[in-house]
Amino acid sequence: MAFSSIIEILKVGDIRSGVGKTGKPWQMQEAECILRDQDGGVVQVGVLDVPRDLIDNLRPGVYTASFTLSAHYQSRKIGAQLVALTPLPARAPVKPATSA
């Protein structure tokens, strides 16, 4: 079962890499994001782990983010995992009301 949210990616971090205790190489990247409600209002600000298939391919913008639940490979804690991003069209800026 997948669920979705509107997120705005503000900044994509540098790719970090290394070798784990088992000798297996790893890469990771994080993105600073705003979680938005359906009207575009700010709900929360946080950091999103970029999935392997999107590392070095993610750009700032507004997206519908699709998530699924799965267990973390080390801690086994169940949490949301990003599985897809669909760009949303840019919204026109809201113009302030003028007095007559």
pTM comes to 0.78
The mean of the pLDDT values for the chain is 87
Q: State residue 67's pLDDT score.
A: 92
pLDDT tens-digit series, residues 18-33: 998 889 998 999 999 9
What phi, psi does 28 have (nearest 5°)? Answer: -150, 155
Using an 8 Å Cβ cutoff, are 67 and 35 in contact?
no
Going across the sheet that includes 30-36, the strands are: 42-49, 30-36, 2-12, 61-71, 78-87
Q: Are strands 42-49 and 61-71 parallel, antiparallel or unpaired?
A: unpaired
